[in-house]
A and B are shown apart, each in its own frame.
Chain A
Amino acid sequence: MSDLSEAPIPDQQATPDRKSPDVRTPDTAGPGMLPAAGNAALARMLQGAPGGTAALAELVQFGGNAQVARFAGLGDGSAAPPAPGPVAPPAPVNVTVGAHGEEVRDAQIKLSRVQASALPLTEDGRYGPLTASAVRTFQTSAGIAPPTGVLDPVTKTRLDAAFAALPPPARTVLSLGSTGADVGFAQQKLNALGAAPRLTVDAVFDARMLVAVVKYEIGALSRFPTGTVDAAMWADLDKKVKGGFVANEGAGATPVEQNTPSGTATSLAKQVAGTSLHPVTGVGGLTRGPAVEELQQKLNKAGAAPPLKVDGAFGPLTTAALQAFQTGRVPPLAGTGTADKATWDALDAVAPGSTTGAVERQWTEEVGGHVYGMTGANASRYSWEIQKTRMVVTAKITFVGLAPPAAWFGHVESVWNRYMGVETASGKSMPIDFRMVRGAGGDANTVTVSAGKGRANAGQWFAGDKDAANTIPHEFGHLIGLQDEYQLHPGDFVQATGHEPPVGDATGAAVAVTPATIAANLQAAMVARSSANARAASVGAGVKEGAFAQQVVEAYAALATVTVPAAAALPGPPPVPAKPAVPLTGNLLRDLDAALPDDNPRYDTIQVFSYSSGSIMGDPGREKDPHDHGAQPRHIAQFMTILGQALGGTWEAKRR
């Protein structure tokens, strides 16, 4: 309890030091003006009209032209994200079993890639026996004697050198009509560098990809467009965007696709439009706790006179100060004495930061083509407090039914308490601790605890869940507003994880039928309401997650849509509820969800046409991904923003 007794740090409100986005302007050098014919050809291509080689031939006559460059500058790769800034190297010290942090994670990445580990190491930043064993193996192979298993400065230098000496991925020159994994990786990288519209990672070099390649050649490479991804373009793509190849990891040469970072991850689920992140505070809402403290701090910053005592109790003085703030706006807000969305919006504009606060997040997500959410009474509720030496995030839960097993509270902490916020300029750090506590009231979440071991959802957990070490931290993630990272559409996957959809099975080499046939079979299965047929047409035909499956998704979208007639309930077994008529939309995941019964074959079918991460918010049971595992920095980004608002500066989540 000593944590709670720590006084909040004094106001250190400062304007967050936001850097302006680093946007390069397109290179406008080039010969002469583009003749009208070239404009027309380019315009057709940029509009995605079927073009192919003829259009390219027409266009390349005008390549290098300034107008082409300006044209291509719209949403092309010219806004490449800057490379991460230099990080000061840590002082050389021995790193060994029990150590943890970014340095350990960096070593794990390298040990797997130089194949010193037996299997790909889980990159969790925890120096355990597997990491130590890999270090010993590396030391032996590098002639460092004796092999200690300790990452001493000599070993680290040699490991860094061995990693740097790994050959770059061998790339294939790509042009219109090319297929295969490298096409998918190029699509990933073009997306990461801003291709608009995004390219489907389907490993097919089609006319849409041709447009993106040409735009990139002109806008980013400033060269006469060839319509090919040649060695020079590969070198540029690989320099600017990491990942996008398959590496053998560990002594057993396990092939592991290396994730391609893309954009900034937004792991928070989509907030319901028109809702506030602040709970209603004051009369009719919360009258105690962090929400009230936040209100008092912000009213003080907004000029409450005399200043309010920040005690988290909504009394007459707070009421009066709130009313004064409300009526003092131009135009005035109703002086209700209750902080609603409009009042909080006004307060946030005046005083964005505070050292404590409460969040009530109403959100939705689409998983497996179905919309889920936590809204209304089910909203995610949590609070945070910036103390002297750390930040504490608390989700309070009213447990209904059975009592929660004590181990659950520890499971939350062992998965989530792995990070600290680090202020990039000053190096100041602040551990972020997450806590699940029991409690009641308007700022608590409600969870029913049931006997047995069913599949938990955000509102019902099972006391007899032997996998609680994963399940409870996952559901806790929802309570702090995080979305799921499984069975996602590609665009949602990129947004949630910050990396491109994996290329996976690029060509469907084991699949004997075309994507168009599979798509037609899937549609027929939906019309027949047969999930077994859908699975047979996809998983059963050899379709696996990845680029080839996305070719099926595209082929399906191109089919003429039909309406699946309404179906009466079936008594079963297994019983099936009555289903209304389903007008198919061409969106495969949504159509599978709407037309087919919720059973194993449907789930398996949706799985191969969607994307899932291996993180704690993904599906670690199905997606074994040593790189994207457990809680990731993206999952706590919202607290980095809060630190910046309260303390100033730019904060990043680092392993601790």
Chain B
Amino acid sequence: MILRLVIADGSQTPAVAESVEVADDGAISGWRSVSDGGVGWFAGHLPPGELAEVRALVGAIRAVPPPVPAPPESAEEVLELLATGPVSIAGIADGPGDWPSLAAASRRLLDRLTDFPRAAVAAHHPAPGVARLVHRGTDPVRVDLGDIAVGATSWRGYYELAGDWSGEVEGPGEVEAGPGWTYDIPIGVDGPGSVDGSGSVDGSGGVDGSGSGFESDVVVHLTIDFAILSGTTRVPVRASYTPAVG
């Protein structure tokens, strides 16, 4: 192992509980629980150039940094290095210096991880009125779709709130998702059709859960909360879809 970063935040639901590890041979692996690029297991190999950068940043570290309190509301961030053991880096912002550079690079690796899906599920918005779960990777993943919560927020201009919709869906329960698997959920934020009457409309922007026309100048962000099964453990996750706005 070269480094391992774990980020955890139990103050939000589903909790953030994510990890990324880089091995000596450049293998990168980990787990994402609240993510745009999918939730679940990820694994791959970093190209030699990137691995060399990580090695250089880690190699510059000699000692544990002086403790810095994390800003209010911060998640727990623990970086493990062979040289130091576990170190809390939540208070270390990006900036000049060995530790800030390494901390920032480690956080970026958690995003980079989603380029290597193995057994993961991501959210998409393929058409107005539809939220879609899509399998990513090569391996199957067992998901619990018994109780799905969908949030959809629509934005006009540059992040001007245009509408907000949330609904709960009783899905098919436990299913195995493999390559090619998708699951569509009707949403009320930007298209016809509502979700079995359980959707609620609480936006102020005139969005109508029972069907207002799709507005072409609106960007929709989605969150889909469900659970991934790992053995006997049921892990709540949130797949999100947040295309650029404006």
Contacts and interface: CB of A to CB of B under 8 A. Distances in A.
Contact of B242 (A453, A571, A580): A453
B195 interface: no
A139 B168 CA distance: 43
10 contacts: A451-B245, A455-B12, A458-B73, A463-B159, A464-B153, A572-B17, A576-B8, A598-B9, A598-B75, A603-B11
Given A378-B93, A466-B164, A572-B19, A455 B230 contact: no
A598 B72 CA distance: 15
Interface in A544-591: 569, 571-580
A464 B155 contact: yes
Interface stretch (A311-319, A364-372, A425-433): A364-372
B235 A574 contact: yes
Interface stretch (A51-59, A197-205, A401-409): A401-409
Contacts of A406: 158-160
A576 to B, nearest CB: 7
Question: Size range of the interface on A?
Answer: 35 or more
A374 B15 contact: no
B34 A373 contact: no
Contacts of B72: 365, 367, 372-374, 457-458, 478, 483-484
Given A464-B153, A574-B235, A457 B31 contact: no
A373 B71 contact: yes
Given A464-B155, A575-B18, A459 B242 contact: no
A575 B17 contact: yes
A367 to B, nearest CB: 7
A371 B4 contact: no
A446 interface: yes
Given A364-B69, A377-B93, A452 B36 contact: yes
A365 B236 CA distance: 30
A602 interface: yes
B120 to A, nearest CB: 11
B235 A573 contact: yes
> Chain A at the B interface: mostly helix, strand, loop or mixed?
loop
A451 B11 contact: no
B136 interface: no
A106 interface: no
Nearest to A368: B11
A597 interface: yes
A599 interface: yes
Contact of B17 (A448, A475, A569, A599): A599
B33 A573 contact: yes
Interface in A126-172: none
Contacts of B75: 455, 457, 598
A452 B240 contact: yes
A265 interface: no
Would you list the 6 A-B pairs with minimal beta carbon distance, nearest first? A373-B69, A574-B17, A577-B78, A405-B159, A575-B19, A458-B71
Interface of B: 4, 6, 8-19, 30-31, 33-34, 36, 41, 68-76, 78, 80, 85-86, 91, 93-95, 153, 155, 158-161, 164, 221, 223, 228, 230, 233, 235-236, 240, 242, 244-245
A9 B80 CA distance: 56
Contacts of A119: none
A576 B18 CA distance: 8
A475 B73 CA distance: 9
A367 B34 CA distance: 24
A589 B30 CA distance: 30
> Chain B at the A interface: mostly helix, strand, loop or mixed?
strand
A414 interface: no
A601 interface: yes
B31 A575 contact: yes
Contacts of A451: 36, 242, 244-245
A464 B11 contact: no
A375 B76 CA distance: 17
Nearest to A372: B72
Given A573-B33, A577-B6, A599-B8, 10 more contacts: A372-B72, A375-B69, A457-B70, A459-B93, A463-B159, A573-B17, A574-B33, A578-B86, A602-B10, A603-B10
B246 to A, nearest CB: 8
A452 B241 CA distance: 8
Nearest to A374: B71
A376 B68 CA distance: 9
A405 B160 contact: yes
A599 B10 contact: yes
B221 A601 contact: no
A96 to B, nearest CB: 25
A454 interface: yes
Contact of A577 (B12, B80, B91, B233): B80
Contacts of B34: 454
Interface in A363-400: 364-365, 367, 371-378
B241 to A, nearest CB: 9
A458 B33 CA distance: 22
A536 interface: no
A326 to B, nearest CB: 30
A308 interface: no
Interface in A46-85: none
A183 to B, nearest CB: 32
Given A455-B73, A464-B159, A573 B31 contact: yes
Contact of B71 (A454, A459, A577): A459
A264 interface: no
A456 interface: yes
A639 B144 CA distance: 53
B76 A598 contact: yes
Contacts of A597: 8, 10, 17
Contact of B221 (A446, A452, A572): A452
Interface string A333-368: 000000000000000000000000000000011010
A403 B158 CA distance: 9
A275 interface: no
